[in-house]
Amino acid sequence: MPTRIIGHVKRVNGPVITVCDITDAEMLELVRIGEQQLIGEVVKLFDGEATIQVYEDATGVKPGDNVYGSAMPLCVELGPGIIGSIYDGIQRPLEKLEEASGTFIARGLTFDGIDHKKLWHFVPSVKLGDSVSGGSVIAEVQESETIVHKILIEPTVGDGVITKIADEGDYNVDEIVATVSQEKSKDINVSMVQKWPIRNPRPVKKRLPFHAPLVTGLRVIDTLFPIAKGGTVAIPGGFGTGKTMTQHAIAQWCDADIIVYIGCGERGNEMTDVLREFPQLVDPKTGKSLMERTILIANTSNMPVSAREASIYTGITIAEYYRDMGYAVAIMADSTSRWAEALRELSGRMEEMPAEEGFPAYLATRIAEFYERAGLMETLCDKEGSVSVIGAVSPPGGDFSEPVTMHTKRFVRCFWGLDRSLASARHYPAISWTESYSEYLQDVKSWWNERSDDKWQSNRKEIMELLQKEERLQQIVKLVGADALPDSQNFILEVCSLFKNAFLQQNAFDKIDRYSIVEKQTKMLSCILTYWHKGLEAIEKGVPLVKLRRLRVVQDVAKIKFSISNDDVQEIDKLELKLERSIEKLGGIYED
């Protein structure tokens, strides 16, 4: 318990407390308030007074209460034992909180982010005399069944040599496992745990250009609007359009090594759903439980608003730590709007001058700072690691012109707009193909072309053009009805409808359909385009559209997503051949 008194409470207004008689409080210092020991953070200093945001409900705090300083900023603990945990917004393990206070979360509780007693099997990877520097790997620990945790030297340490290294064996995270001697300063003792302030990005060597996509298994994303590993994307959508479902699906099936799932101001039951479901699901890459690669941060909507503001930073700092070991990490932030609203609420309580819709003027800066922490990096230990950020945005009234969506759009390079009318028709994922875009197409082009006989880019372009044409034709249909169109144009509607139903739409609860491997995606697309090319030829020969539509094999194509599993994708080739033959046969009847 900190004993350094830095001031006394002067005024309490919800989660914002003004403190007077300030002695030596530091900016962004972690503090404890009153005898209940509520956790808070200094956010403003002026004229011997400080403003503190409290991470817990402030009921009962009264003027005159002592405020204690901890002499350090809000930090997270980094070390083995993070994987598989579920934390609140300031890295308190929720399971520990439950042990301490039961069903409801009591106030003033403190717990370490990781277990300091547990023993880990330590395998050194350096030997005496090796030269190391900040960020170097000195050992490995098997953290979960799938994740090897690399023990890193803190990034702030300068060059030095190893003068002591522990033998292979079981240690807890507090024990000194290595000593680094430096020429000009004191020896540095290294344990398996380190602390890092959540608001500072962890350093890297340099940023690298993107080259591979983050494969999500969702066809509309991978094929039409891909995100690169290390990229940023925003998913805006009104309530009920499926933001959370999309995030869950990506968290389950994407090919990142580690997932950090931040439930920021969202529903309690959704986090329970993840907790219940993830341990049972199997990671397609490793065959192990998904929980073996997942870290959850749950600050639900009824938990204190300041901790909601912090949860985003807690999450990304943990992600950066694993990136520094050379892993590809993906962050789901659900939802960044709640985080922005927390900023607004705190800003309002501090009586700051508001900008648009009551949001503080620094909203755009904060959003930019957050998304800039993503990227594909060369780490200090010369590995390639990435942090990809997938941020949900919840625009009020589903209106994309509100400040959070607008500012987010400025700083992300990929945009998956969710459409209410698609959601109403239960077309999930309800990602609109007219509003969404991806600026990563050029970056991932060669990766995809390598895996699709150089066809991905041209096929994608072709189907996008068809969708555009369909959009225009729909306008006409709305005025005169589909019957007024010639068969060749009606066929565009037909192909697009097939593409939407059979390809874009994906059932997250179907065992086969919920996740499509790259090969299945490219083959399915090629199959649908074959229908378009061959069908158009047939129509030009005079085949009526009705006959074409009634072909049995077309129905089979429509059901590929349910009937052909990822393991036997070559079946799709056979089907494509059959489709080609049937249409040619049909054309043969009408020729001459």
Partner 1 sequence: MKTNDEKIDRRLLAGREYRGSSRIDGPLVYMRNTHPIGYGELVEIVAPDGSRRSGQVLDTSDEVVCVQVFEGTTGLTLPKTGMHFLGHPLTLSVSESMLGRVMNGLGKSRDGSPIAQGQFDRDVNGSPINPTARIYPRDFIQTGISVIDGMTTLIQGQKLPIFSGNGMSHNQLAAQIAKQAKVRGGDSDFAIVFAAMGVKYDVARFFIDSFEESGVIDNVALFLSLADDPSIERTITPRTALTLAEYLAFDLGKQVLVIMTDMTNYCESLREISTLRGEIPSRKGYPGYLYSNLAELYERSGKVRGSKGSITQLPILSMPNDDISHPIPDLTGYITEGQIVFDRGLHSRDLYPPINPLPSLSRLMKDGIGEGMTREDHPHLSNQLFASYSHVQDVRNLASVIGEEELTSIDKQYLKFGQFFENNFISQDFDEDRSIEDTLNIAWQALGYLPSEELQRLSEDEIDEYWQEMED
In the region spanning residues 86 to 125, those forming contacts with partner 1, defined by CB under 8 A, are: 86, 94-95, 97-98, 101-107
5 binds partner 1 (CB under 8 A): no
276 binds partner 1 (CB under 8 A): yes
479 binds partner 1 (CB under 8 A): yes
Residue whose CB is less far from partner 1, 14 or 284? 14
60 binds partner 1 (CB under 8 A): yes
> Within positions 407 to 426, which residues make up the interface with partner 1, using CB under 8 A?
420-421, 424-426
483 binds partner 1 (CB under 8 A): yes
* Neighbouring residues of 209: CB distance < 8 A, sequence distance ≥ 6: 376, 443
Q: How far is the CB of 168 from partner 1 (least distance, A)?
A: 35
Residue whose CB is less far from partner 1, 50 or 414? 50
DSSP string, 156-179: T--SEEEEEEPPSEEE-TTS--EE
Which stretch in 249-257, 366-374, 433-441, 473-481 sits in contact with partner 1 by CB under 8 A?
Answer: 473-481
> Within positions 344 to 383, which residues make up the interface with partner 1, using CB under 8 A?
344-345, 348, 351, 354, 357-358
CA-wise closest residue to 196 among 72, 311, 374: 72
Distance CA 207, CA 374 (A): 10
Residue in 179, 191, 286, 301 binding partner 1, rule: CB under 8 A: 301
396 binds partner 1 (CB under 8 A): yes
> Within positions 159 to 198, which residues make up the interface with partner 1, using CB under 8 A?
none
Q: How far is the CB of 193 from partner 1 (least distance, A)?
A: 23
64 binds partner 1 (CB under 8 A): yes
473 binds partner 1 (CB under 8 A): no
275 binds partner 1 (CB under 8 A): yes
Distance CA 217, CA 250 (A): 8
390 binds partner 1 (CB under 8 A): no
DSSP string, 247-305: HHHHHHH---SEEEEEEES--HHHHHHHHHHGGGSB-TTTSSBGGGGEEEEEE-TTS-H
Count residues binding partner 1 (CB under 8 A). 82
553 binds partner 1 (CB under 8 A): no
Residue in 174, 501, 544, 590 binding partner 1, rule: CB under 8 A: 501
- Coil, strand, or helix at residue 136? coil
> Within positions 280 to 299, which residues make up the interface with partner 1, using CB under 8 A?
298
Distance CA 300, CA 278 (A): 18
Q: How far is the CB of 572 from partner 1 (least distance, A)?
A: 19
Tell how strand 188-190 and strand 375-378 pair up.
unpaired
Residue whose CB is less far from partner 1, 287 or 480? 480
Q: How far is CA 360 from CA 103, 154, 345, 348, 356, in A?
A: 35, 35, 9, 8, 8
Task: Answer for the pair 108, 37: CB distance below 8 angstroms, yes or no.
Answer: yes
Residue in 12, 147, 295, 551 binding partner 1, rule: CB under 8 A: 12
Residue in 174, 273, 382, 540 binding partner 1, rule: CB under 8 A: 273
Helices in 357-486 by DSSP H: which ranges? 363-372, 403-411, 420-424, 441-450, 456-480
* Six-digit token string for 546: 């009705």
* Six-digit token string for 375: 């990227």
* Six-digit token string for 402: 């509100």
Residue in 59, 131, 181, 468 binding partner 1, rule: CB under 8 A: 59
Task: Answer for the pair 112, 96: CB distance below 8 angstroms, yes or no.
Answer: no
Task: Answer for the pair 263, 391: CB distance below 8 angstroms, yes or no.
Answer: no
Q: How far is the CB of 208 from partner 1 (least distance, A)?
A: 37
Residue in 195, 238, 462, 556 binding partner 1, rule: CB under 8 A: 238
Residue whose CB is less far from partner 1, 58 or 137? 58
Q: How far is the CB of 509 from partner 1 (least distance, A)?
A: 6
544 binds partner 1 (CB under 8 A): no
83 binds partner 1 (CB under 8 A): no
Residue in 170, 174, 372, 399 binding partner 1, rule: CB under 8 A: 399
Residue 431 is classified by DSSP as B
* Neighbouring residues of 539: CB distance < 8 A, sequence distance ≥ 6: 487, 488, 491, 545, 548
Type of residue numbered 99: E
338 binds partner 1 (CB under 8 A): yes
